[in-house]
Amino acid sequence: MNFLSLLDKACKKNDSLLCVGLDVDLGKTGHGTSSVTDSIFDFNKKVIDETASYVCAYKPNIAFYEMYGIEGLQALIKTIEYISDDIPVILDAKRGDIGHTAQAYAKSVFDVFKADAVTVNPYLGYDSLEPFINYKDKGVFVLCLTSNKGSSDFQIPQQDEEPLYMHVAKHVKKWNVNENCGLVVGATNAQMLKDVRSEAGNMPILIPGVGAQGGDLESSVKYGITKDRNRAIINSSRGIIYADKPGIEAKRLRDEINRYR
The set of residues, in sequence order, having a beta carbon less than 8 Å from that of 52 and lying 6+ positions away, is 83, 84, 87
The set of residues, in sequence order, having a beta carbon less than 8 Å from that of 175 and lying 6+ positions away, is 126, 129, 133, 181
Alpha-carbon distance 7 to 230, whole Å? 10
Q: Can you give the pLDDT of all 261 residues of the chain as single tens digits? A: 999 999 999 999 999 999 999 999 999 987 766 899 999 999 999 999 999 999 999 999 999 999 999 999 999 999 999 999 999 999 999 999 998 999 999 999 999 999 999 999 998 889 999 999 999 999 999 998 755 555 454 545 555 577 888 989 999 999 999 999 999 998 877 788 999 999 999 999 999 988 666 678 999 999 999 999 999 999 999 999 999 999 999 999 999 999 999
Alpha-carbon distance 78 to 88, whole Å? 15
List the domain boundaries for the chain: 3-260
Structure pTM?
0.93
> Which CATH number is correct for 3-260, 3.40.1390.30, 3.20.20.70, 3.30.565.10, 3.40.50.80?
3.20.20.70
Residue 114, by phi and psi: left (phi above 0), alpha (psi -120 to 50) or beta? left
Is residue 94 among the annotated active site residues? yes
Residue of 78, 94, 173, 222 marked active site: 94
